[in-house]
């Protein structure tokens, strides 16, 4: 399970992405640092003092090797690990920076992809529902046609019987 973390308090402009990744790994609570995005002012390029990091937790990586756990359990464990990280390392001084950790919101691209996937699933479910309704309507139409043919046949028999009876009565 991976998490996206917010790391604030990066006031030292000499702090780079590689150094921050190394620091996070040195805490020994992360299995891997997948990405580090130091946020900078787009017009000046000056760091804004915070970063977003995509990390994989140590214990989750170990569990993944043993067996596949339920997603809910992993999320609960991730929450516990994040709380532990906050209690233990919030306010830690590193390279003259007082660090603040937190859970970051998902990126725009990730959220957009999740929404597209949900919409595609909904569209598939709607299409399946439409096919099922068409199938039921076809079955009902066939039953009605069969009933109509049987009723028409029965009526024709009655008309023929009545005509034959009327023919014998009139003679």
The residue out of 56, 71, 105 marking a domain boundary is: 105
The pLDDT tens digits of the residues spanning 71-81 come to 556 667 777 87
- Which pTM value belongs to this model? 0.55
The pLDDT tens digits of the residues spanning 90-117 come to 888 888 889 998 888 877 777 788 888 8
- Determine, yes or no, domain membership for 111: no
- Determine, yes or no, domain membership for 37: yes
- DSSP string computed for 76-142: HHHHHHHHHHHHHHTT-EETTEE-EEEEPPPPHHHHHHHHHHHHHHHHHHHHHHHHHHHHHHHHHHH
Range of the domain at 138: 118-171
- The enclosing domain of 93 has a CATH number of 3.30.70.330
Same domain, 99 and 122: no
Instruction: Please state, in angstroms and rounded to a whole number, the distance separating the CA atoms of residues 84 and 101.
Output: 11
Same domain, 9 and 87: yes
Mean of all residue pLDDT scores within the chain: 81
Q: How many CB atoms lie within 10 A of CB 33?
A: 19
The pLDDT tens digits of the residues spanning 109-150 come to 777 888 888 888 888 888 888 899 999 999 999 999 999 999
Q: Check whether 167 has a pLDDT greater than 70.
A: no
Stretch 153-157: mean pLDDT: 85
Cα 11 to Cα 43, 45, 97, 111, 118: the distances in Å are 18, 14, 6, 29, 39
Same domain, 13 and 81: yes
Instruction: Please state, in angstroms and rounded to a whole number, the distance separating the CA atoms of residues 163 and 171.
Output: 13
Same domain, 160 and 77: no
């Amino acid at each position: 399970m991976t998490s996206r973390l917010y790391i604030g308090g990066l006031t030292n402009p000499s702090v780079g992405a590689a150094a921050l990744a190394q620091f996070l790994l040195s805490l020994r609570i992360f299995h891997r640092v997948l990405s580090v995005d130091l946020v900078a002012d787009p017009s000046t390029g000056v760091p804004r003092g915070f970063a977003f990091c995509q990390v994989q937790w140590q214990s989750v990586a170990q569990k993944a090797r043993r067996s596949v756990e339920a997603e809910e359990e992993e999320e609960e464990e991730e929450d516990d690990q994040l709380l532990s990280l906050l209690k233990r390392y919030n306010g830690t001084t590193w390279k003259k920076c007082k660090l603040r950790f937190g859970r970051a919101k998902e990126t725009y691209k990730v959220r957009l992809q999740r929404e597209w996937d949900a919409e595609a699933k909904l569209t598939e479910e709607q299409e399946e529902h439409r096919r099922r309704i068409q199938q039921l309507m076809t079955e009902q139409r066939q039953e009605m046609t069969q009933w109509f043919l049987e009723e028409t046949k029965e009526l024709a028999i009655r008309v023929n019987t009545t005509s034959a009876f009327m023919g014998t009565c009139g003679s």
